[in-house]
Structure 1
Amino acid sequence: MVTQDCGESRRASLPAPGSCHGPSPSPVGAVPEHERPAGDGLLPHHLRLDLWQEKPEGQEEAEGQEEPMGQESEKHEEPEGQEEAEGQEASIEQEEAEGQEELKGQEEPEEQVESEEHDEAEGQEESEEQEKREGQEMPDGQEESKGLEDPVVVDGGHGWLVVLGAFLTNMCIVGTVKSFGLINLRIIEMFNVSASETAVVTGMLLTTSLMISPLVGALCQRFTCRQCATFGGLLCFVGFCLSSLATSILQLCFTIGLLVGIGCGFITTPSILIATHYFPTRRSLVNGLVMAGNSAGSFVMPPLLQLLLEQFGLRGTLLVIGAICLHAVAGAALYRPIAQQERLLRNPLFMLVALSVFLMAAGSPYAVLQLPVFGVTRGLTPRETAEILSIVSAVDLASRLGFGWLLDKGFVRRQYALAASQLLAGGAVLVLPFCRGYGSILAMFLVCTIGMGAWFINTAPVMADHHGIEKIAVSFGLLKMFHGLSTLVMPPIFGAIADGTGDYGAQYFAIGACMASGGLVVLLIMVTGVVDRYGQPDGADTGRPQSKQPTAKRVQSEQGIQAEVTEGKRTQLEEEKLTRLA
């Protein structure tokens, strides 16, 4: 009867005695534990529980394929008697064995899928951890790793395009600044101001560009040299364009002295840093090539500016100069980032070199800037003075290229070459007050220019030798700050000497003495062994003459460079793997 408790009509479902839950549901679904049958006498209890356990999604599909077989067996009526029950039990056990065999066949694909999903999850976690770690470490010098692109070849390859871009930016920006005397003459005429008032604009321009160098070095680590130089080129463009609309000397102090000054600082510092990173064993040569852009600009820009002033006047010329500054943005586009940390102010070695730079910067390039006035007091015509400046610019270009190549040959340590260049330039300046004719003045300025050119290109490589390539952004940036301090403090002192003596030649005694004293400081560093006690060379090049046999430091340097490239390739492969999995 249907009304009977747990009636016989339900006997086919084989419920447990005393249970009234009706037919057993499909084992595929998840059923609460209190509703699971405790056993029916046909299947061991532990196997029955196994069938009722909640399965993963893959196994549910496999059991879903078995379900018709299980349902088909339930549709058969159960014969009465113990023999039929035993046959039912054997049938169920056989079905379970077949289901387990099918599940085994699907376990391997499921495990493979799970393994791939696990690898993908791990890869994403590692990528997120690496990005987080880079974001935290970036202020401490892992700069450029944020802007790191494909692995690059050091000492060649794309590095030569980087040098070309740095040459172009320096030629456009520094060449314009060094030729700014022609602009000053038109400013005096248009705004009816004195030469001293106009000199404030030029002084702000030079001082600002040098004083912000430490900040620029830090930003090059936080971002990239490409981004900083691009910002500088755009800022110079804006500054010169706004200058064409100026109506007072005060406005020019803001547009040229401040905006263009900051822009120049953001251009000149990255050009040295990026080239030094790309050529760890050719630092002097590439710095010579990069800074040769300064000389090339000072050779090309004066006649161009003179032509522009004649054709378009002051305001039109300022607009054209702004457009020329945009070429620095094109050069900065070639600065492909490369992976590149401080407390240098407490390092006695750094402070002594900074003192040397401060003294040398007193006359570099102030000694050359005073040539027009000095030449007049010695009987030279403006044409002869301009001729000397052109010859000096050409020799400066050649000396930077030649000494850059020569210093990388390792015939002499860079520190001794740095000291010799300062002594040479300072000695020539000390002789200038005794010169009276065109030939002697030209000869002394040529010697001075050769010394200054060798000094300019050797400063950054020496800092890399002393404190390591990983700190070049900080060390070189701080050095340029000391250069800026000297440019701000020393010229008024020299001007006071000239006014007090009534002879512009007298100031060259003080200028030459400062420059030569800077060389003596470098010699003191070498003789006392300060460079060996406080220097932290990166191993790539310590400034010593190179031997043909591979030294331990050279092997270590080559291994470090190779490890850097290998790490870049590994990162690229991991990114490609994650892209494929995605």
Structure 2
Amino acid sequence: NSNSIANGGPCGVQVPEGGWGWAVAVAFFLVEVCTYGTLKSLGVFLQDLMEEFGESNSRVSWVFSICVFVFTFTAPLSMMLSNRFGFRPVVVMGGILISLGTITSAFSSSINDMYISVGVVSGLGCCFAFLPTVTLLAQYFSRQRALVTSVASSGESFAIFAFAPALFALKKHIGWRYCLVVLGTFQASVIGCGLLLRPIIIEPEPLKEAQHSDSLPLKQRMRLDFSVLKDGAFIWYSLFGLFATLGFFAPQLYIIELSKSRGVEAGVASYMLSVMAGAEIFGRLSIGVVLNKVPCRKTLVLLGCVILLCLVLVAFALVWEFWGLVVCCALYGYFMGTVSSTHIPMLAEEDVVGIEKMASSVGVYVFIQSFAGLAGPPLGGVLVDVTKNYGAAFYSCAAGMGLSAICLAL
């Protein structure tokens, strides 16, 4: 373990500013590619799965919903195992599970098989890989935390930008099943990411004796801290995360079919995901720079981005031509990048829980999100099946994002 500590942390907390943290940032970039990046690219296979298994939109969307639910619901387990055995073995196990789940899904004989392989196995692997890595990365930086985590999290966007058209082209030659085998093999790279992790110890600065005595002991800080549920700021922030999750996954899942339903050719429609991803990269990078410079509370900047994201989701349901969809995809990608790259690291801010409690509270926060992750895509699928209009799915996303903005404002 690296115990070298540098000054500069908030409220008297000593954290490194870089060092091995840059290697952790590279690992987190690749973990983002193999978790959120691949998950959000699976919308390419939505129509294939419907045709292969003769299922409806809502039934197929449960594959993604179960994966997101397990991803977030098992967050407390992921953090408890990380605090007990260390970040490295948990992330390595996550890489094994992600790869195993995706590869075995290629041999599914029914949609129920994919509920287990992609939904449960890969979902658990994603949680084991993602949370320990992002938590450790946030502990390596203080002044540059927002910028570094934003840049590193752009791995998700790069993955969607590259994978969507690549998988669409590849499945024409080898079919969707072999595409999943290729994807699962690539996801095994998370195992190497886990081996790069080097945990650190966050220690309070020896300021005043009174301040020091109020600090949580190290072992207590590293456990899951359900006492944060008594903190009003954390409760409202968790409700923000809960409702925002309704808009995190359904747009990527349905944008291709929405575009096709409005006259866009199938091959061109797959590039809508790439437009989203390209804009999301700029969103992630720019929000990191902005948060490093703004004098106001960073949560206020996040609130502004959430409100604009809500308006863009409404616009998706209102536009009916190619360039309107392109503009909506670009705006959604940009603001999605600003929100998705900052909402978890924002827990380290003192007006939420602070850096000392982040490791113990992040599991609770993501656990609360899990229920919206389970409901989001199927809710959109039901609305599509009932209305026969893919735009209806975006209304449910906008409603969730609007509620999240209210909670964040409170």
- Does residue 407 (structure 1) correspond to residue 291 (structure 2)? The answer is yes
Compared CA separation, residues 506 and 228, structure 1 to 2 (3 A): same
Residue 219 (structure 1) aligned to one of 78, 81, 85: 81
Contact kept in structure 2, 1:272 and 1:290, CA below 8 Å: no
Larger radius of gyration between Structure 1 and Structure 2: 1
Match of 2:262 in 1: 378
Opposite residue 363 of structure 2, the aligned amino acid is G
Q: What are the residue-to-residue correspondences of 1:66-465 with 2, within 5 Å? A: 148-149=1-2, 151=4, 154-191=16-53, 193-340=55-202, 341=221, 342=225, 343-465=227-349
- Does residue 476 (structure 1) correspond to residue 362 (structure 2)? The answer is yes
Shift of 1:160: 0.7
TM-score w.r.t. length of structure 2: 0.84
3-state secondary structure, aligned to 1:368: helix
Residue 515 (structure 1) aligned to one of 382, 401, 405: 401
Compared CA separation, residues 443 and 247, structure 1 to 2 (3 A): closer
Contact kept in structure 2, 1:234 and 1:263, CA below 8 Å: yes
Compared CA separation, residues 398 and 479, structure 1 to 2 (3 A): same
Contact kept in structure 1, 2:98 and 2:122, CA below 8 Å: yes
Q: What are the residue-to-residue correspondences of 1:11-22 with 2, within 5 Å? A: none
Contact kept in structure 1, 2:256 and 2:272, CA below 8 Å: no
Match of 1:14 in 2: none
Shift of 1:193: 4.7
Match of 2:206 in 1: none
- Measure, in 1, the Cα distance between the counterparts of 2:403 and 2:25: 32
Contact kept in structure 1, 2:57 and 2:381, CA below 8 Å: no
Q: Deviations over 1:460-513 (max 9, x none)?
A: 232111212122123222222222211222444444444554543344344323
Q: Deviations over 1:164-218 (max 9, x none)?
A: 1110121133322222133444444555555444333222222211211122122
- Does residue 485 (structure 1) correspond to residue 371 (structure 2)? The answer is yes
The structure 1 segments of at least 4 consecutive aligned residues displaced by more than 6 Å after TM superposition are: none
Shift of 1:417: 0.8
Contact kept in structure 2, 1:378 and 1:436, CA below 8 Å: yes
Contact kept in structure 2, 1:241 and 1:319, CA below 8 Å: yes
Q: Deviations over 1:24-57 (max 9, x none)?
A: xxxxxxxxxxxxxxxxxxxxxxxxxxxxxxxxxx
- Measure, in 2, the Cα distance between the counterparts of 1:261 and 1:330: 19
3-state secondary structure, aligned to 1:362: helix
Q: Deviations over 1:109-140 (max 9, x none)?
A: xxxxxxxxxxxxxxxxxxxxxxxxxxxxxxxx
Contact kept in structure 2, 1:359 and 1:518, CA below 8 Å: yes
- Measure, in 1, the Cα distance between the counterparts of 2:288 and 2:110: 43
TM-score w.r.t. length of structure 1: 0.60
Compared CA separation, residues 186 and 376, structure 1 to 2 (3 A): closer
Identity across aligned pairs (percent)? 26
Opposite residue 277 of structure 2, the aligned amino acid is S
Q: Deviations over 1:231-254 (max 9, x none)?
A: 100112222333344434333322
Compared CA separation, residues 433 and 277, structure 1 to 2 (3 A): same
3-state secondary structure, aligned to 2:197: coil
Opposite residue 238 of structure 1, the aligned amino acid is L
Contact kept in structure 2, 1:498 and 1:505, CA below 8 Å: yes
- Measure, in 1, the Cα distance between the counterparts of 2:194 and 2:70: 21
Shift of 1:293: 0.7
Shift of 1:308: 4.3
- Measure, in 1, the Cα distance between the counterparts of 2:315 and 2:96: 43
3-state secondary structure, aligned to 1:333: helix
- Measure, in 2, the Cα distance between the counterparts of 1:490 and 1:318: 24
Opposite residue 471 of structure 1, the aligned amino acid is K
Moved more, 436-445 or 263-272: 436-445
Shift of 1:519: 1.7
Shift of 1:424: 0.8
Compared CA separation, residues 330 and 377, structure 1 to 2 (3 A): same
Compared CA separation, residues 430 and 183, structure 1 to 2 (3 A): closer
- Measure, in 1, the Cα distance between the counterparts of 2:371 and 2:74: 11
